[in-house]
Amino acid sequence: MSADDLWSLLYDEYLPFRLYSDHKQGVSVNQLAGSLGLPAPWIQERIEAARLCIERQERIKLPFCDFDDLRINQTRPF
């Protein structure tokens, strides 16, 4: 699997990765929150958790929410 294939898979399957990727492309936290109907602080937490996982290779587990719980096709995690 190429790096591009992996990026596409993560983008399509995991909301935190999608949020991180879109934010890196210049979409603001408030724009992401508005488009998804989620609170901005929740969005910011997921972006930061994804950043730490991707950029620093740290495993992050947020209270009541793990990346495994955030598949795009699932309902909202709260």
Predicted TM-score (pTM) of this structure: 0.67
Q: Over range 6-30, report the average pLDDT.
A: 85
Mean pLDDT, rounded, for 39-68: 74
Mean predicted lDDT score pLDDT of the chain: 76
Q: Is the dihedral of CA 20, 22, 26, 27 positive or negative?
A: negative
What is the residue type of 66? D
For the cut 70, the answer to whether the pLDDT of residue 62 exceeds it is no
54 burial via Cβ count (<10 Å: 0-12, 13-18, 19+): middle
Q: Domain segments of the chain: what residues?
A: 3-69
pLDDT confidence tier of residue 43, bands split at 50, 70 and 90: very high
